[in-house]
Amino acid sequence: MKYFITICTCLTIALSTNSQKTIFIRVFDESGKKIDKGFLIQVSDSSLTIRNGEKKQEIPISKISAIKIKRSFGHTVVISSLIGAAGFSIFGAATAEPDAWFSYSVGEGAAAGFVFGALTGAAVGSIVAATNKKPILQINMDQKEWIKAKSALSYYLETN
């Protein structure tokens, strides 16, 4: 029974992280410096609006050189390693049997699961991040390029 509960917990954690409703973008200027980052709220003919925490920021296209969609490589690796560490530490603690032939305590099982899960999660996160396509929209502060990018960004708004 505890195996079933552990597996259900791990699946719940994994599925809840995948249920992100809005798209995360990073906005860069002509020198390649990140101007702002946040969740896309709205696009207009002259600007885009993003939300970072409670702060809403409207960025005019005259400042935008490139927009990178989705999170960075490192973010994917860190989140997946945290999920792996949490899931495997719960699994290690739940499967501890101090009286068995190969015995370990609940704390030892949780610690071993944490280390193994973090390493496994980082490896899986690296593979996922490396194979995930993360579009880059080149605007170069040009109205014609912005119109193309606007339609691409509108697609992400419609899927919410």
- The domain of 62 spans 26-68+136-160
**Residue 148 falls inside a structural domain:** yes
To which H or E segment does residue 136 belong?
strand 136-138
Query: Among positive and negative, which fits the CA dihedral 54, 150, 140, 67?
Result: positive
Asked whether the beta carbons of 125 and 75 are under 8 A apart, the reply is no
**Residue 34 falls inside a structural domain:** yes
More confident residue, 84 or 12: 84
Per-residue pLDDT averaged across 62-83, rounded? 88
Q: Could you give the 3-state DSSP secondary structure of residue 73?
A: helix
pLDDT at position 27, please?
A: 92
pTM of the model: 0.63
**Residue 130 falls inside a structural domain:** no
**CB neighbourhood size of 121 (10 A):** 22
**Residue 10 falls inside a structural domain:** no
The total number of structural domains in the chain stands at 1
**Residue 105 falls inside a structural domain:** no
**Residue 127 falls inside a structural domain:** no
pLDDT at 160 exceeding the cut of 50: no
**Residue 142 falls inside a structural domain:** yes
**Residue 117 falls inside a structural domain:** no
Per-residue pLDDT averaged across 66-94, rounded? 88
Give CA torsion, residues 148, 154, 156, 158, to 10 deg: -150
Q: How far is the C-alpha of 135 from the C-alpha of 142, rounded, in Å?
A: 18
Q: How far is the C-alpha of 43 from the C-alpha of 149, rounded, in Å?
A: 10
More confident residue, 14 or 7: 7
Q: How far is the C-alpha of 118 from the C-alpha of 102, rounded, in Å?
A: 23
pLDDT 10s digits, 11-60? 676 665 555 557 888 999 988 899 999 898 888 888 889 998 889 989 99
pLDDT at position 10, please?
A: 64
